[in-house]
Structure formats: structure tokens, C-alpha cells
Amino acid sequence: MRRFMLHGAALAALALAAGVPGGARAQAAATSLQAVDSLGRAMGRIGLQTGTGGMSLRLMVDSVITWVPLEPADEGGQLAFRAGGVVLFAEPDCTGPAWLSYGARGAGTRASTLVTGGGRQMLYLADGSRTSDKLITHQFDGAECKAYSYGARNHRQPVWRVSSPPVDLGALYTPPFTIR
């Protein structure tokens, strides 16, 4: 029953997002479903990513709202953060300022990426500043620093500047996460 409610709420969110006029269309739409950690602490609202149909968590970290991708709920309604984010660097050893790829994000939220590795889930937040011509050469995926693999190697692209050290979501919330 809970799985059906989740899909019904996600479809409703998709329908609402589809009705928003062209340029103002949000990349994610919040539902009425709440995510809580194992201690019962509210984490944020579950949302549907309108471009991919995936689920995200509308999360507030350090007074900044962002969307964090989620794995689909299992039969018990438990959620997990989706792995796979990368942080970009101009230095071959992945030191110095970190950058995020300039991609879609939810309306009224900041760009972010979730990098997982070594048992940690680190959320990198953009500071709202974007540059349109940054030479990116390397990426960090939570395990290793390697040559940037998107498009032409060593090319310039628009990116978001990371605002501060990453936030360890495992230190903020205690898994497992569930839907309420």
C-alpha cells in the first residue's frame, strides 16, 4: 500500500510540474511524503525529478535547500542516498577549489552533488556563483582522483563553485531512512 501511495504522489507531482510554464519549469517537484531517519528526525520532503522520473530528497543543509538523489524505496519503505556524484577540479591531484558540473537543479535550490566512498556520503553544495569558462581536468568520485571523463579532455565549461567543505550526511542523519 505504501509503495502505491509513493507512486501516486510521484505521478501527482509530475502532473503539477508539467503544468508550470516553459522557462519556469522546476527540475523536481516536492510531494507530501516526508523522509525521516531511524531516530524519527524529519529530513525533508520526497520529490520526483521531472526530467528522469527518479526520486530526490528536498534537503536543507546549513540554511541552503538542495535536492539529493535517492534510490527507490524497498518493500519496507526504506530509502537510501544514490551514489554516483563527482566533484570537479582544475588540478591533477584533486586539490584546490572544487567545482560542480553546471546542470539542472530544482527551482529555488542550489546545485549539489553527493559523493560516496569509504563508507561516507559527502554532500558538496554550490555557493550560487557560476563561471562560464573553467578549465576542468580531473574529477573525484569518492574513491580516486582521475582524468575528467566528460567530453573532450581538458576543456573549458560552465561550472558551479563549491561553497565550503562537504557535509557528511551520515553525521547529520542516522540510516535507515523511511517514508512517513
Distances (CA, A) of 92 to 95, 144, 148, 154, 168: 8, 11, 9, 11, 24
- Domain range summary for the chain, segments of one domain joined by +: 2-58+69-80+173-179, 87-170
Give the pLDDT score at 23: 27
Q: With DSSP H G I counted as helix, E B as strand and the rest as coil, what are the percentages for the chain, rounded to 5? A: 15, 45, 40
The one-letter code for the residue type at 135 is L
HSE of 128 in the Cβ direction (CA atoms, 13 Å)?
5
Q: What is the pLDDT of residue 38?
A: 92
Report the alpha-carbon distance of residue 13 to residue 49 in Å, rounded.
9
Q: What is the pLDDT along the chain (180 residues), one digit of tens a residue?
A: 333 334 444 333 333 333 322 222 235 666 778 889 999 999 988 887 666 667 888 888 877 888 888 887 677 778 888 878 899 998 999 999 998 887 656 556 788 888 988 888 899 988 877 777 788 889 999 999 998 866 555 567 788 888 888 888 888 888 888 888
The cell for 93 is: 591531484
Rounded to whole angstroms, the Cα distance separating 85 from 42 reads 24
